[in-house]
C-alpha cells in the first residue's frame, strides 16, 4: 500500500510527539526511524532539519551541565582525545590505502571515526571538495555503525561492570556521532551522559585543527573552504550562563530536558535517512575500512580506560 503525503505527515508527526515520551529511548527512536526508512516511508522535507535538531539539542543540554565537572572532565579527557584522534586518522589513511578505498572517502570515514561522525564529515567535505556521492558513502558507513553502537555499547558496559564515568569516556571516544554518544550515555545513566557529552564535545573541537591541517595539505590541489561547527561555542555559552545565573536553575532544568528529548528526535530523523540502496552503493571496501577503524578504536580505548580497574 502506497501512502500519500498526508498519511506520511501524520506518521512522522506522531513519532515526533512520541519522542517526547519517557518510554521512547534513543535506541527505540533510532530503530523506528530505520524501520520507516526500510519500508520506504520517507518525509520529503523533514530530513533537512536533522542537523539542526542535533546541534540545537546539544546547546540546550549545556544548561544542565555543571561547569566544575566540565572543567574536571576536560582536563582528564584531553589526552585520551588527542591520542585517539591522531591514532585513528593515521590508521584510517593507511588501511584505506591498503584496501584501495577512494582517498576522499577514506579521509571522510577516518575523520568521522576520529572525531564526531556526520558533523566531522560535513566539516571536512568542503575542505577536500568531496562529491555528493562520496559524502553519502561515508555518512552511510558511519550512521550504520552508530546504530549498532547505540544498541550494543550499554550492554557491553553492563557486562564488564563499567562505572558510569568510565563508560562515558569510552562511549565518547569509541562511538562516532554525537547523537549516538549521547544516546548511549543516556541509556547507561545520568553520570555517563554528562561525561560522554562533555568529552565528545571536547573531541568535536578537533574538527578545527584537523580541518586546518587537511586544508593546508590540500590547498595546492583545490580551493576547498573551511566549515567549522557553530554549536560548540553556543554549548560552552549555555554552560557558562547556567553557572552564572543559579537562580534560574528551574528554567535551565527544563531547557536541558528539552535538549535530551530533542536528541531523541535527532536519532529518529537520522534513522529515517538511512537506506539500503545507499548502503549498497557505499561499497564493501568502505564498510571494511569503517568497521576495522571502529573495532580498532573501540577495543584499544576500552583496554586503555580499563587497564587500571
Q: What is the pLDDT along the chain (309 residues), one digit of tens a residue?
A: 577 778 888 889 898 999 999 888 776 887 788 788 888 888 877 777 777 887 788 788 888 877 776 676 666 656 767 787 888 899 999 999 999 888 888 999 999 898 878 778 877 887 788 876 677 778 778 878 888 888 899 999 999 999 999 999 899 889 988 778 888 998 898 889 888 888 887 777 787 788 778 877 766 555 555 555 677 678 788 989 999 998 999 999 999 899 888 878 887 887 787 766 666 666 788 889 999 999 999 998 899 888 865
Task: Say what the pLDDT of residue 281 is.
Answer: 65
Q: Which domain holds residue 106?
A: 5-306
DSSP 8-state assignment for residue 48: G
Give the whole-angstrom CA distance, residue 290 versus residue 4: 36
Read off the C-alpha cell for 256.
Answer: 536541558
- Please tell me the predicted confidence (pLDDT) of residue 229: 62
Q: Give the pLDDT of residue 289.
A: 92
Number of other residues whose CB lies within 10 A of the CB of residue 283: 16
Q: Residue 148's pLDDT is what?
A: 87
What's 230's DSSP letter? S
Q: Measure the CA–CA gap between 65 and 93, rounded to whole angstroms.
A: 36
Q: Which three cell numbers stand for residue 160?
A: 564488564
Q: Quick one: pLDDT at residue 57?
A: 84
Residue 225 has a pLDDT of: 58
**How many domains are there within the chain?**
1
Extract the C-alpha cell encoding 18: 512520541
Residue 268 sits at φ, ψ, to 5 deg, of: -60, -45
From residue 202, give the alpha-carbon distance in Å to each of 45, 129, 190, 205.
Answer: 32, 26, 19, 5
Q: What pLDDT score was predicted for residue 146? A: 83
130 CB-contact burial (10 Å; exposed 0-12 / middle 13-18 / buried 19+): buried
Residue with cell 502506497: 2
DSSP tag of 46 = G
Output the pLDDT for position 188.
93
In angstroms, the CA 59 to CA 255 distance is 9
Contact 139, 126 (CB under 8 A): no
Is the full-model pTM beyond 0.75?
no
Amino acid at each position: 500500500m502506497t501512502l500519500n503525503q498526508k498519511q506520511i505527515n501524520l506518521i512522522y508527526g506522531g513519532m515526533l510527539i512520541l519522542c517526547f515520551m519517557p518510554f521512547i529511548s534513543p535506541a527505540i527512536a533510532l530503530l523506528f526511524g530505520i524501520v520507516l526508512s526500510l519500508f520506504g516511508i520517507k518525509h520529503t522535507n523533514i530530513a533537512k532539519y536533522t542537523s539542526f535538531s542535533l546541534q540545537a539539542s546539544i546547546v540546550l543540554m549545556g544548561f544542565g551541565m555543571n561547569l566544575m565537572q566540565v572543567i574536571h572532565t576536560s582536563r582528564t579527557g584531553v589526552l585520551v582525545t588527542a591520542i585517539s584522534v591522531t591514532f585513528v586518522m593515521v590508521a584510517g589513511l593507511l588501511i584505506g590505502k591498503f584496501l584501495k578505498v577512494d582517498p576522499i572517502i577514506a579521509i571522510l570515514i577516518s575523520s568521522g571515526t576520529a572525531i564526531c561522525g556526520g558533523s566531522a564529515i560535513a566539516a571536512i567535505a568542503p575542505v577536500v571538495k568531496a562529491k555528493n556521492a562520496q559524502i553519502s558513502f561515508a555518512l552511510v558507513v558511519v550512521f550504520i555503525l552508530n546504530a549498532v553502537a547505540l544498541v550494543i555499547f550499554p550492554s557491553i558496559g553492563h557486562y564488564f561492570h563499567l562505572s558510569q564515568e568510565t563508560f562515558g569516556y569510552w562511549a565518547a571516544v569509541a562511538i562516532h556521532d554525537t547523537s549516538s554518544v549521547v544516546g548511549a550515555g543516556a541509556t547507561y545513566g545520568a553520570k555517563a551522559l554528562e561525561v560522554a557529552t562533555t568529552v565528545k564535545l571536547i573531541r568535536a573541537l578537533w574538527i578545527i585543527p584537523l580541518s586546518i591541517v587537511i586544508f593546508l595539505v590540500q590547498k595546492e590541489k583545490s580551493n576547498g573552504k573551511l566549515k567549522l561547527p557553530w554549536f560548540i561555542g553556543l554549548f560552552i555559552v549555555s554552560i557558562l550562563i547556567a553557572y552564572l545565573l543559579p537562580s534560574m536553575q528551574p528554567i535551565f532544568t527544563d531547557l536541558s530536558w528539552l535538549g535530551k528529548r530533542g536528541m531523541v528526535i535527532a536519532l529518529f530523523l537520522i534513522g529515517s535517512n538511512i537506506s539500503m540502496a545507499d548502503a549498497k552503493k557505499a561499497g564493501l571496501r568502505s564498510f571494511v575500512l569503517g568497521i576495522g577503524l571502529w573495532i580498532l578504536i573501540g577495543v584499544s580505548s576500552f583496554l586503555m580506560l580499563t587497564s587500571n580497574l
